[in-house]
Amino acid sequence: MCAKNMWGKLDELEPVRTPTLILKEQGNLLRNATKGSLAGVTTLQTLGDEFLIDFDITAFYLNEYRYTLLTLRHGLDIYPLTMQDKVHDVAYSCESEEIFVQVVEQILSSTEVRKIIQTLISQSK
């Protein structure tokens, strides 16, 4: 006798673009842009019912030196999430994916982050 599937059709569920996925995409873009010397790396931990995510720039040719750019915290519902910009020492509350992407773009393209990238690339040679 086969067991009855009481979960319904799970293959019909739409995948969600999580903040972790968005940051991993940006990390891969940094790796490609720096020809593999730097990458953005996400680290995910759980604390009770919360997800904690760090987004670091890793310099592979500097003994895998890591510089933390962002720290995120969210529940199972993902949004709203809180994000700490470690470069500028500013906290954000992002109510949606759209707001999250806008804030991350503002941070990653900032003069301060570009200077960090420039310094790490220079020291990696």
Residue 41 belongs to a domain:
yes
Residue 3 belongs to a domain:
no
Residue 12 belongs to a domain:
no
Query: What is the structure's pLDDT at 59?
Result: 97
Q: Is 60 exposed, middle or buried (0-12, 13-18, 19+ CB in 10 A)?
A: middle
Instruction: Please give the residue range of the domain that contains residue 77.
Output: 17-123
Ranges of residues in the chain with a pLDDT under 70 are none
Query: What is the structure's pLDDT at 75?
Result: 97
Residue 4 belongs to a domain:
no
The structural domain count of the chain equals: 1
Residue 58 belongs to a domain:
yes
Query: What is the structure's pLDDT at 1?
Result: 76
Q: In whole angstroms, give the CA distance from residue 61 to residue 124.
A: 5
Query: What is the structure's pLDDT at 15?
Result: 87
Query: What is the structure's pLDDT at 125?
Result: 80
Cα four-point dihedral sign 22, 24, 25, 29 = positive
Residue 46 belongs to a domain:
yes
Residue 1 belongs to a domain:
no
